Amino acid sequence: MRRFLAGRLVQYAVVLWLALTLNFLLPRLMPGGPAQFLLGDEAGRLSPELKAAIMSELGLDRSLGHQYLAFLGRLARGDLGYSLARGEPIRKVVADRLPWTVLLTGSALVVATWAGVALGTVAAWRRGSRVDVGLVMGAMLLASMPVFWLGMVLVATFGLHLGWFPLFGLRTAGATQTGWRAALDVARHLALPVLTLAVHNLFGTLLLMRHSMVSVLGEDFVLLARAKGVPARRVMYRHAMRNALLPVATHFALGLGFVVGGATVTETIFSLPGIGRLMYEAVLARDYPVLQAAFLLVTVTVIAGNLLADLVYPLLDPRVRREARA
Amino acid sequence: MLKRRRARSPALGLVGAGILLALGLVALLAPWLSPYDPHHRASRPFLPPSAGHPLGTNDIGQDIASELIHGTRVSLLIGVLAAAVALSLGTLVGLVAGYYGGPVDVLLMRLVDVVLVVPFLPLVILLAAYLGPGMWNTVLVIGGLAWARPARVIRSQVMSLRSRCYVVASQAMGGRPAHVLSGHVLPGIMPLALAQFVLAASHGILVEASLSFLGLGDPVRKSWGSMLHYAQLRGAFLTGAWRWWVLPAGLMITLTTLGFTLVGYWLEERFDPRLRGGR
Amino acid sequence: MDDLLVIEDLVVAYSGPAGEVRAVDGVSLRLPRGASLGLVGESGCGKTTLALALVRLLPSCASILSGRILLEGEDLVQMPETAMEGVRWRRVALIPQAAMNSLNPVYTVGWQIREAIATHERVASREADRRAAAALELVGLDPARRFAYPHELSVGMRQRVVIAMAFACRPPLIVADEPGSGLDAISRAQVLGLMQRLRHRLGTSFVMISHDLEEATALGDLVAVMYAGKVVEVCPAGRFPGQARHPYSRALAAAHPPLRGPRQQLTGIPGEVPRPGSPPPGCRFHPRCPEAAAACRQVGPELSKVAPGHHVACHLWGGEGL
């Protein structure tokens, strides 16, 4: 188990290093060079002298190795760079937006996992029946829809035609409520985006839970529990589900890793001020530094999610737990 | 005694194959099927559906129905090409890792693990933004990042084939690795590779749609994703126009992805030894 | 007469794509209180199906078509499922096949024994824990083992845990499906000896199912031989296999080496068990029977008495036919 974790840590370190190095190299490999990277479309309009002055100011005339070390040093201090397009330090931009993304995707993950576990259990319990086929096919159909389109259709239906939910944004325009009224306003705005993301992510959890449950229900311990006279419902929840949830828990922890990066297009549709929408705006404005910072942030959270999955699993499965102690 | 019957039938696979066949025909016959050239202004912009324009016109007066029909070509082509790139890389890595085993296998599988951890869509967006829009860039970016899963599946199949009699016999008779691989191992993994290809294509089409939707698609070739990009820029889904501008393109993407997924799962279930027979 | 278990003309069928398959086809057995029965037969003759039918835990594709299972005079076949849950373990416990692998991996052994007790009796948790410890002591395990997870115990220990669990509610009847298989020779002997001792100490009745003659007769007052879904011979354990009459019983005995006594030539049984979907007409054993006569091919023999407590379904010994 220790060896396993050590191997994983090495793997994550490699991923992190690759992401960092990619971030360092990409702007320097661009046709326009790093000036283009930093200044975006402004670069073409600057005089060569001014450009050279900026390059020297930023240390871009030094050797690559020197630049690389400086790059890593800045990141170690938590300095993500500066966005000329926004006129703000990127760290501030990201910090403003991160909570909203976490709120959105975190809620969606919880909803999707809960629904996937419930529906997957039903499908497994009645495997081969119409209910089972219907649930699997339905979830497959939903997963085949592009998430941004799903969002647009939900907005058009529940927002535009039925008027149940606001169309976009995080708060009603001109709203001045505070406290729980404000929270309610935000919740109403987040309902459709959360639904969109949750519906899109339902398929994976449902299928995993169904598969896991079907194989657990065939295990001998289910028969023994029934033979003990334990009621069917309790066998289902205390014996079968407790075992079938193990892979789902891992899936959930991995999903936490996508909390930051998983909502690019959804946030775009609903005009929510999160990291995803930030990436979209950065693409449109060719604001490369922001794009890179967002990518780095997403990579770090994905690694954190993976690490969490590795650490959580032994807590849930006594077979792995004891090995870990040994 | 307790062996379960298989729940899924080939009927769903056939439905998927039917969908793909129909879409393939639409793509082939696009110039004859579409009423207008999708790149030319046919009428005034923002027209609702009429006899002349069954799905109305877009923000610059192009016929949406024609865009949709021609979009089939672009979306299918990019999805299939990206899947081809992913599968070629994946097969190569899987073959080499599974056949040679040992440190080569360990190294390549570590690489696969690394690629699987990297956040897919954000990296695709980052690379596409740097490389600039263009069909081939899209294909390479998607294909270049989506090879890890097929590689893993194919590797395990190669490992099981490697120990079979005819492969061992061929090695024992002094067959060179290239010969053994192409003559004896490759035919054994073809069905599985096909299943992986189809699944990769369904994924590829969705990713292409997302990229184009974010404005990172090929500006010259119109895919369904780029249609939705413009529809979103003009806020079409906040007006009644979503029914003819937004709905059809998304339905086409859904249908295509579903077709590929159905065929892929069906093939995988038929040919993946791990899914056959056992639990 | 005080019969603990009476099975009357029980028919259990699996419904498959090829239609209905009768795995247990008209079985009748009688077990007096306190007595034990060994049930022998080759794999696929319906022993396990019979065991699962006794506690009504057949897989969903199988069902009891007809017959009665009277436990202390009460018909289990007609019993509603909720009442059946009260019967299981408290009045008849099943030690399933491969019992050592049927413990839940995520709960401690003690938890699983306590669950069995708490399902049937209202006991304080401390009392349940004390009884779980006592149950483990009963089978010769350290009571501290109740804090262990199944994977931390050896195969033989896990088997004993399930036996301890089976005795936890002191049921009058325990059905054990091949309790010795999957164990090494020493653990197997330990487990069988343990069951013998506990049976004598607590007076529990056993239905011991096995393809192994030694195991089936280890506890037995009675031995029943099953072939292709039917009981072909029932006799007192003392008469088996020495005075067994049915050609199949004798063939089974000839295929097993006796542990004591002179060496002898082993003989296998030619052919194989007929597929349950298409049993041969007449006596089901006739295609493999060295003594088959014309009548055996047409008329299925009924059980008939050949000695006190000894019944055989064979034309060679019965009144009819020949």
The minimum CA-CA distance between B35 and chain A, rounded to whole Å, is 25
Q: Check whether C274 has a pLDDT greater than 60.
A: yes
Nearest chain B residue to A258 by CA distance is B119
> Which pLDDT band, with edges at 50, 70 and 90, does B70 fall under?
confident
Contact B1 C17 (CB under 8 A): no
pLDDT in tens, C72-104: 989 999 999 999 999 999 999 999 988 888 999
Q: Check whether B45 has a pLDDT greater than 70.
A: yes
The closest CB to that of C17, out of B1, B2, B5, belongs to B5
User: What element of type H or E holds C278?
Assistant: none
Q: State the Cα–Cα distance between residues B62 and B44, nearest whole angstrom.
A: 8
Say yes or no: C106 contacts chain A, CB-CB below 8 A: yes
pLDDT in tens, B124-147: 888 888 887 888 888 988 998 889
Q: Check whether C257 has a pLDDT greater than 60.
A: yes
Name the CA dihedral angle for B87, B88, B92, B95, rounded to a multiple of 10 degrees: 50
Say yes or no: A226 contacts chain C, CB-CB below 8 A: yes
Q: Are B252 and B222 in contact (CB under 8 A)?
A: no
- pLDDT for B278: 37
> Which pLDDT band, with edges at 50, 70 and 90, does B273 fall under?
low
Q: Which chains touch C (3 or more CB pairs under 8 A)?
A: A, B
Among candidates C203, C183, C199, C201, which has minimal Cα distance to C191?
C183
Nearest chain A residue to C85 by CA distance is A229
Q: Check whether C175 has a pLDDT greater than 90.
A: yes
- What ranges do the domains of chain B cover? 10-27+60-89+119-144+186-276
Helix, strand, or coil (residue C45): coil
Helix, strand, or coil (residue C139): coil
pLDDT in tens, B160-170: 777 776 677 77
Tell me the pLDDT of chain C averaged across its residues: 86
> Which pLDDT band, with edges at 50, 70 and 90, does A324 fall under?
very low
Say yes or no: B1 contacts chain A, CB-CB below 8 A: no
pLDDT in tens, C281-300: 888 888 888 888 888 888 88
- pLDDT for C91: 93
Residues constituting chain C: 322
Mean local confidence (pLDDT), B107-119: 84
For an interface test with B, give the residue of C45, C49, C61, C177 to mutate (most B CBs within 10 A).
C61
Say yes or no: A228 contacts chain C, CB-CB below 8 A: yes
Give the orientation angle of helix B224-233 with respect to helix B247-271, to 10 degrees: 140
Diameter of chain C measured on Cα atoms: 67
Nearest chain B residue to C61 by CA distance is B2
pLDDT in tens, C143-174: 999 999 999 999 989 999 999 999 999 999 99
Q: Check whether B220 has a pLDDT greater than 70.
A: yes
pLDDT in tens, A161-177: 787 888 777 777 677 77
The minimum CA-CA distance between C57 and chain A, rounded to whole Å, is 7
- pLDDT for B4: 37
In Å, how far are A117, A248, A315, B227 from A309, measured between CA atoms? 18, 10, 10, 39
pLDDT in tens, A247-269: 888 888 888 777 776 688 888 88
Among candidates A193, A158, A150, A190, which has minimal Cα distance to A172?
A190
The minimum CA-CA distance between B190 and chain A, rounded to whole Å, is 25
User: What tokens does A164 get?
Assistant: 């149940």
A146 contact residues in B (CB cutoff 8 A): 206, 209-210, 213, 225, 228, 250, 253-254
Q: Are C222 and C66 in contact (CB under 8 A)?
A: no
Contact B210 A146 (CB under 8 A): yes
**Which of A196-205, B12-21, B267-276 bottoms out in mean pLDDT, i.e. has the lowest?**
B267-276
C119 contact residues in A (CB cutoff 8 A): 228-231
Q: What is the ipTM of this complex?
A: 0.87
pTM of the model: 0.80
Q: State the Cα–Cα distance between residues B134 and B161, nearest whole angstrom.
A: 40
Q: Which amino acid is at B244?
A: W
Where is mean pLDDT largest: B106-110, B238-242, C44-48, C203-207? C203-207
The closest CB to that of A144, out of B121, B210, B254, belongs to B254
- pLDDT for B6: 43
Q: Are A268 and A277 in contact (CB under 8 A)?
A: yes
Q: Check whether C38 has a pLDDT greater than 60.
A: yes
